[in-house]
Copies of this chain bind each other. A is one copy, B any other.
Amino acid sequence: MSNKDISMAVIRRLPKYHRYLREMLETGVMRTSSKELSNILGFSSSQIRQDFNNFGEFGQQGYGYKVEDLYNEIKKIIGLTKRYNMIIIGAGNLGSALANYGFYDIGFNVKAIFDNSKEKIGKEINGIKVNDTNVLETYLINNDIDIVILSVPSKAAQNIADRLMISGIKSIWNFSSVDIVVPDDMVIENVHLIDSLMTLTYLINK
């Protein structure tokens, strides 16, 4: 894939391009332009062209962009041309909700769930087996897992992350309310719900 250093500002806009281009594709729009995308997405047309040109030349002067081609390019850039295997660690309310979320349809398989609770171990959530967390390492040796969804209590998060690191896991989608420290070759994407809620309260009182 592209090796230039793309800024996080650009990267975080990519899913939004993906979302709206898919919608255009589904509603039969064949062709678009940076100006039209600007109206729909709320980014400037200049920024949109700059963003795309980080990755290549996807349009045609005087014509614009073919929606299908552009959509496929964005999919490639984001890495959506392959499927990903995930596991969920922590079968609490949030972990269970994520097990039911419907990731399969968008290219993600949830292969297993892990939890400490004797009542949950052995059960299934949305057809996915809940295993004892103490067999995590064994499981990871025998299964090729791309992404670990971490939805354990804050106190447990760093310890689990350390174990994942030792098991060779390279990416964590972190739903716990703490920042996790990992080596540079691992990637962490945080969903800090409380931080998000506090951003909202700030804006309410502004």
Residue contact A193 to B193, C-beta cutoff 8 Å: no
A182-206: which have CB < 8 Å to B? 187, 189, 191-206
**In the complex, which residues of chain B have a beta carbon less than 8 angstroms from the beta carbon of A6?**
206
B-side contacts of A103, CB under 8 Å: 197
**Beyond A200-B147, A202-B78, A204-B187, is A194–B15 a contact (Cβ under 8 Å)?**
yes
Nearest 6 Cβ contacts at the A-B interface = A15-B195, A97-B97, A79-B205, A93-B97, A189-B200, A79-B201
Q: A residues within 8 Å of B by Cβ?
A: 1-3, 6, 11-12, 14-16, 18-19, 77-80, 84, 93-94, 96-97, 100-101, 103, 106, 108, 146-147, 170-171, 173, 177-179, 187, 189, 191-206
